[in-house]
Structure 1
Amino acid sequence: MKKIKSLTALACALTLTTGIFTGCGSSSGGSDSSKNVTVNIFQFKVEAKTALDKAVKDYESSHKNVTINVQTVGGGQDYGAALKTKFASGDEPTIYNIGGPQDVQDWKAKLEDLSDQPWVSKAYDGTLDAVKSDGKIYGLPFDMEGYGFIYNKSIFKKAGIDPSTIKSYADLEKAVTTLDSKKKDLGIDAVFGTAGKETWIDGLHDSNVPFALELKDGVSAFKAKTINFTYADGFKKLVDIQNKYAYKPDGTNKSINSVDYSTQVEKLFSLGKVAIIEQGNWIYSTVSGINKDVADSMGLLPMPIDGVKEGCVPVGVPMYWSINSKKDAATKKAAKDFLNWLYTSDKGKNAIINDFKFIPALKGYDASNLQPVDPISKELTKYSKAGNTIPWVFMGYPTGWGQNKLGTDLQKYTSGDMTWDKLVQDAKDQWAAARK
C-alpha cells in the first residue's frame, strides 16, 4: 500500500470512515508552584505501562515538585471493577480511565470538567462525543485503535493464501480450513489462538461486530433501551469458527476458556504457534519485544458476519484519561499539566508515537518523525480509505453487560454449558433490565 505521508492523513482517513467520527504542538510549561504534589494514576493499558513509566520519569525530571505514581490494572483483569474497588477503598486516584457515555454517567460525581484544556481544540471531530455531557468534556482520548483478526503473513504465504481476497465469512472459512489442513507443514498447533479466559475479548470486541451493524454508534448504544440481536446467527458462526479451529490445551472446547491474553499473544502468536488471533494494533510492542520478525509480518483481516457483503474493521477510541474532581486544586493542576505535556509537547508527542506506538486522536503530529511505522496501523489506513470500518459501539453497552454478562455466557456456550438460543435471550433480557 502507499506509504503514509502524515498522521493527519491517517487520522482523517480513520475519522471519515468509522461512522462515529465526522471530521476528516505546543510545549507545556512547568508548575508555577513550589508546593510538592503527588499525582496517582490508575490506568488500564498494560501494553503502555513501560512507555508511561518512561514518560513519567521524563516529566518529573523537569517538574521537580511533582511526583507521579502509576498503577496499571488490565490485560486479564476487569479494570472497571478494579476502579470501583479502588475508589471504595478511599485511595482515590488523581487520573483514571473512562470508556464512554456509560462511564460518564457512572462517574459523573468524580469527573473534572476538562473543557478549557489546550488539547480540546486539537481533538479530531467526533472523538470527544462519547465523553461530553451537559456541554462539558470529561476525558482526553488515549488514541485511536482498530482490531480484527491479526494474522501471520509468513504463514499465510506458505499456505498459499492471498489475504486480500478475504472479505466475506465464506472467504474466511475457506482460508481457515486451508490452514487447518496444512497445520503440520506450516508448523502451527492450531489456526486460531483464542483467549477464551478474557471475557472482554468476546463480550466486548467480538460482540461489537454484530452490534455495530445493528446500532449506529456508542452514544446510540447507550441510549438504546433494548436490542434485537439482529445478527445473532452470523455472530454464532464467527464464534463457532474460532472455537472449532482454536488452540485447545487439553483438546476440548472447555479448555479454550483457560487461555489468557498472555498465552494468546506472547506464547502462541509471537512464537508462531498459531496463524490468527483476535487483537488490535496495541499488541505490536509486545509481539515485537518477543519476535520482531513475527511483529513485522502481521496483517489485519476483517471479522465478517455471514450475509454482510464486506467485512469491516472496528475503529475507535479505546479509553479516555479523566481527572478526579474531588482532588485539591494543586493536584488537579499538576494532573492537567502532565496530560497536556504528554500529548502536546515535543517530548510528549515523540513518546506517544515512538514509545506508546499510538495513533493520536489529536491534531499536531505532522512531523516526519511522528509517523506510525507498525504494520497494523498501516493496515488500518487501508481499511479506512476503503470505507471498511465500523464504530466501537461497546463503549455504550450497559455497565458490565458486555464483559461480565455476555462475555460469561459466551464462555458457557464455548464449554457446552449453554445453548446459543439461551445466550441470545439472556443478552436481550439483561440489556433491557440494565436500562430500566
Structure 2
Amino acid sequence: MSKLKKLGMTAVAISMVGALLAGCGDSAKSGSVGSADKKVELTFWDAAWNEAITPDVIKEFESKYPNIKINAQYNPDNGMSDKYLIALKQKSGPDVININLDWVTPYATLGSLLPLDSYIQTDKVDLNDFFEGSIKSAKVDNKIYTLPYRTETHGLLYNKKLFADAGIDASKAPQNWKQVLESAQKITKGDVFGIGLVGTNFGNLTTQLFNMIQSNGGSILNADNTKSMLNEPAAIEMAKLYVELSTKHKVTPTSILQNDNIANRNLFSNSKIAMYMSGAYDVAPIKQANASIDLAIGMVPADQTRKTILSGWGVSITNSSKNPDAAWKFINFLATPEISKKFSITFSARKSAATDPKYQDPQTKPFVDALAFAQPLPQIPQLTQVKQIVFNQIQSSLSGKITPEEAMKNASKEIDDLLAKK
C-alpha cells in the first residue's frame, strides 16, 4: 500500500493539521511564467530570520526573470506552522512557501503542495547533488514535494575558557554523555552552569532529546513507523539523563522550564552556561553578542552509533498557486548550489556546495562533517503530534510530577495509540 493511500486522509492526519486542500495531482498545474507581454506576481512566504538575506536573492532572481515579481512576506518561528495551515485550509496561502522538511509529509499527504517531478524531469535537476536525507524528506509516495535548499544537523557548542578554568582539556569537546556530565559537574559553580537544556518549545526540546536518544543507539519509532521505541532502555536512559541533569545533578540553569534555545544561546553568549546543543545558525549571533568568547564546536556526544537528526528547509509550490510554472522557476533558482549558499543561514542542501571555503572554518566545519551521520526523523503525518506528546511528558518530569521512566512509558502508550488510529 502506498504511503499516501495508507496515511492519506486519516482522522489522525486531519486532527493534526486540519482539513487542508484536497487531492494531489500527478503532474503540475499549468500557469503563466511571465512572457514578454505579461508580468506575473508571486507571493512568497518566508521565515523572519531570512529577512536580511531574501531581498538580495529576490533582486538577483528578478534580474534574471524580469517579468516575474516576487512579493515576500516574513513569518516568525513562533506560530509559523499554524499560520501556514490555516491559510492553506482557507485557500488563501501564497504561491511559494518556505517549509521545514518535517512538514513535507503532512502537507503533501493532505493535498497542500504540488508534486514537482514533471518540472524536475523537464529541467533535468540533478537530484544526486542533494544530500540523500534531504531528498528523502522531500518525498511522499515517491513523489517530490519540495526542493531542499538548506540542510543542517546539531553539534555541541562549548566555551573553551570555562572548560580550562575548571581544569578540563578544552582542545576537544566531550565525546560521550559520561564526559558531558563530568565536565558539567566540574564547571557548575555559583551562577555558571555546565550545560543548557530546554524545557519549553516542543521543537527545541524534542530535537535535543531525540539527538541524545539516537546517539545512544535508540530510535523514536520502529522500522516501519508503526510503534514507539521510546520505552526501550536506550531511550529511557537518555530521557533520565536529560531530566536528571537538572533535577538531580543541578548542572543546568534553574530557569530550564522557561528556557528555549534562544534563551540558552543568550546564556552561552554571556558565559553563564559552558555548553549546549544547537546548529551552525547560532555561531554568528553568539559572536555578535560576545566577540571575545572562546567558542568551539564538537559533534553531538555519542555513546553508541553517531546518529543525529538531519534538519533542513525547502521551498514548495502550494496547490492554490495560480502561476505554478513561474513559481517553479523561483524555487528551482533558490535551490541551485550557488543561490542556496546565499539563502541558507546554515548549509546548502547541495553536495557540490559543501567544499565552499565558507564551510571550512573551524567553527563551521564540524557541522558539515556531522552531516555524514545525520538522518531525518520518521516521515509520518503525525510527527508534530509525536513531538508534542514527548514534550508534554518530559516537561512533567522536569517539573517533578513523574519520573523519566514514567514519562517515556506514558509517551510510548500515547504514540502507539496515535499510530494505531485509522
TM-score by length of 2: 0.77
Which of 238, 261, 266 aligns to 2:242? It is 238
Q: Give, as a single letter, the amino acid of the residue that structure 1 aligns with 2:212.
A: V
Match of 1:209 among 207, 212, 227: 212
Deviations 1:75-104 (A, max 9, x none): 4x2433332123234421222245557742
Distance in structure 2 (CA, Å) of the matches to 1:374 and 1:198: 30
Cross-structure match for 1:104: 105
SS class of match (2:199):
coil
Is the contact made by 2:153 and 2:370 (CA closer than 8 Å) also made in structure 1? no
2:261: which partner in 1?
261
Mapped to 1, the partners of 2:280 and 2:211 lie a distance apart of 17
Give 1:239 deviation, angstroms.
3.3
Match of 1:35 among 34, 38, 57: 38
Q: Deviations over 1:83-138 (max 9, x none)?
A: 21232344212222455577424433122122232444332445312222343211
Per the alignment, do residues 434 and 36 of structure 1 end up closer, same or farther by CA in structure 2, a change over 3 Å counting?
farther
CA distance in 1, matches of 2:105, 2:369: 32
Higher RCO (CA 8 Å, separation ≥ 6 residues): 1
- C-alpha contact (below 8 Å) 1:208/1:392 kept by paired residues: no
2:46–2:97 CA contact under 8 A, matched in 1: yes
**Residues 147-296 of structure 1 mapped to structure 2, 5 A cutoff:** 147-163=154-170, 164=172, 166-180=174-188, 183=189, 189-211=192-214, 213-215=217-219, 223-230=225-232, 231=234, 232-242=236-246, 244-248=250-254, 255-265=255-265, 267-294=266-293
Residue matched to 2:384: 400
Instruction: For 1:102 and 1:222, locate their aligned partners in 2 and report how far apart those are by CA, in whole Å.
Output: 19
Whether contact under 8 Å (2:227, 2:416) holds in the other structure is yes
Change (3 A) 1:89 1:191: farther
CA contact (8 A) 1:151 1:301 kept: no
Aligned partner (choices 402, 405, 417) of residue 421 of structure 1:
405
In structure 1, the gaps of 5 or more residues are 1-29, 249-254
Structure 1 match to 2:93: 92
Query: Cα distance 1:367–1:167, how it changes in 2: closer, same or farther (>3 A)?
Result: closer
Conserved? CA contact 1:37–1:334, under 8 Å? yes
Cα 1:105–1:274 change in 2 (3 A) is: closer
Q: Distance in 2 between matches of 1:206 and 1:72?
A: 29
Flag the structure with higher helix content.
1
Q: Deviations over 1:225-248 (max 9, x none)?
A: 343532212331133215632222
Give the deviation of 1:333 after TM superposition: 2.1
Distance 1:345 1:100, change over 3 A: closer
Q: Is the 8 A contact 1:99 1:395 kept in 2?
A: no
Cα separation, 2, equivalents of 1:211 and 1:74: 29
Instruction: Write out the 4+ residue segments of structure 1 that deviate beyond 6 Å after TM superposition.
Output: none
State how far apart, in whole Å, the 2-side matches of 1:287 and 1:124 are: 28
Distance (whole Å) between structure 1 residues aligned to residue 280 and residue 378 of structure 2: 18
Aligned AA (2:349) = A
After superposition, the Cα gap between the structure-2 partners of 1:85 and 1:43, relative to the gap in structure 1 and judged at 3 Å, is same
Aligned residues: 376
**What fraction of aligned residue pairs are identical, expressed as a percent?**
19
Query: What CA distance in whole angstroms lies between the structure 2 residues aligned with 1:289 and 1:313?
Result: 30
Aligned alpha-carbon RMSD (Å): 3.2
Q: How far apart, CA to CA, are the structure 1 residues paired with 2:368 and 2:337?
A: 25
Tell me, which stretches of 5 or more residues in structure 2 are unaligned? 1-32
Counterpart CA distance in 1 for 2:414 and 2:149 is: 30
Q: Distance in 2 between matches of 1:53 and 1:66?
A: 14
**Residues 303/123 of structure 1: CA separation in 2 closer, same or farther (3 Å cut):** same
Residue number in structure 2 paired with 1:16:
none
Mark the CA change 1:222 to 1:107 in structure 2 (over 3 Å): closer, same or farther: farther
Matched, 1:139 2:142: no
Aligned partners of 1:203 and 1:402 also within 8 Å: no
- Aligned counterparts of 2:101 and 2:336: Cα–Cα separation in 1: 23
User: Partner residue of 2:72?
Assistant: 70
Opposite residue 282 of structure 2, the aligned amino acid is I
Counting only pairs closer than 5 Å after superposition, residues 369-388 of structure 1 correspond to structure 2 as 371-383=358-370
2:335 corresponds to which of 343, 348, 363: 343
